[in-house]
Structure 1
Amino acid sequence: MPLRLVFMGTPEFSVPTLTALCDAGHEITAVYTQPPRPAGRRGLSLRRSPVHEAAEAAGLPVRTPQSLKGEDEQRAFAALHADAAVVVAYGLLLPRAVLEGTRLGAYNGHASLLPRWRGAAPIQRAIMAGDRETGMMIMKMDEGLDTGPIAMTERVAIGPDMTAGALHDVLMQVGARLMVAAMAQLEAGRLTLKPQPAEGATYARKIGKEETRVDWSRPAQAVHNHIRGLSPSPGAWCEMPISSHGLERVKLLRSTLATGSGAPGEVLDDGLAVACGEGAVRLVEVQRAGGKPVAAQDFLHGTRLGRGARLP
């Protein structure tokens, strides 16, 4: 018979898994998501998470605790009498009482090939590192950081110009399909678990603002990986001499490798190829502050940013 599940997730990435579990006939006894956050420039209104919106639209009960460390919250979780918890990018630490608060345990959908890229930003870090492959894994959670045994894996190729946004959209659908398969096996008593390898662990730390600026002195491949790994959010950026007031900050959303060479940051042609420490990249899509993403050729109209210009 269908499982009685608690779902725990917050961003858009989590929504397809919640929807797929409902469509598969499982009973979602409660949805846990992070509390509404201030929205808008002044933060005067509160914005509910994508999971919160999806759960309410489906008529599911929603809980938004600030923490799960308190005994009252842990008792409330245990009182759901769930068979298992499904966790996809929830964003809160699960204490032992929650991990062990269901009949069969907690299962996490993680966007990497563990033990590579444990942690908060596996999609961005895989692209920034130049990985050619990643995947989704279903893991039974323990108290470590993405260290639990693996139940299921599906590998996904990373194309040479693929952005983090595009990979995100592929993986969230793969993850939904894989979690449904894992819960079907769990329901049938046939889900098998395999310990993670002891070798090859890396950590996908959260992206910091200090690492978003492009460094043109790096090799072209590294610059290209940096741009696509941070696209669309938080976005890699550089300054360009396109304003009458001096330099203007521009977000770089898509790029590709280009031919040519020059001083790092030198614009090599009228198609926005830029020299790097070794080789060059061509900017394909950019975004000015307060503007919309535009193709590089459209961006160049009305600017004096041509061959020979220098990007600091």
Structure 2
Amino acid sequence: MASQGMVSLTKSLCIMTPKVRLKNTKTTKNLITRSCNLRVLCSKLSQWEQAPFIHDSTEEAGGGIVLEKTKNVFESIVSETEAEEQKIQVFKWPIWLLGPSVLLTSGMAPTLWLPLSSVYVGSKVVSVLSLIGLDCIFNLGATLFLLMADSGARPKDPSQPCKSQPPFSYKFWNVFALVTGFLIPTLLLLGSQTGLLASLQPELPFLSVAVLLFPYFILLAVQTLTEILTWSWQSPVWLVTPVVYEAYRVLQLMRGLKLSAEVNAPVWVVHMIRGLVSWWVLILGMQLMRVAWFAGFASRTTTTTQQPESVASE
């Protein structure tokens, strides 16, 4: 215990040695020799004290091994996450076949293979309800298709945000096409009934108008609501939504042309429906060209982002 106290005292003296400048060289030499002796005493440790920790070169050399191990751990974690993402993607593969099948079964099959004689039976009110029922089946199928397309277009990582906002010009032209497709038949029908357009005679009865154009107006409203929801939810299917509804609208108007003979529609009504078919085929072609443009724009942006990365890696 006494030796331990002496060692601690010498350590304190080593720490608390004042720095004094002396003019006499002999005294300075004596102080230097004494301080060296005190340092030697300070370096000698008792048997109860632990030796200081000294870094070994072998440990420093082994640091790379530790880093390699941590790298392997991270690689294993990344591989596990990639395997989970691949499993999720495998579960998404049937959607690519199920979504179009639902769209075909709900929309195209009843319109193409169901005979119109079975729809147009009895009174005109029953016919209107039957046609609205067919369009409701299509709307359900289109909603399921868009939901499947949205889930397939989302990124593999659920935590990664997916916000797809259409430009203002796209919204403007879509709204313009919908408003134009609504106003043209409405103005023509009102002009024929009020007598403002004398060339549009004879006028078409209300029930005949309902058989030919009431499902058409309902589908316009449903498409408008669906597009507004996809824009507000920033869903990646905003580019596909008008294509789905406009393709069915062409079939719907072709069905109206066949029914015009059943309701004894005047010639100007037949020409009006033909004009609507031509209008929506034109709009559908513009939508498909827009899809191609957006695909090319996406490829250009990906190539421009990959080029700086390759230059930075070099």
Q: Same fold (TM over 0.5)?
A: no
Q: Which has the higher strand share?
A: 1
User: Which band: TM-score by shorter chain?
Assistant: under 0.3
Greater relative contact order structure (CA < 8 Å, 6+ sep): 2
* Normalised TM-score (structure 1): 0.21
- TM-score w.r.t. the length of structure 2 is 0.21
Could you say which structure has the larger radius of gyration? Answer: 2
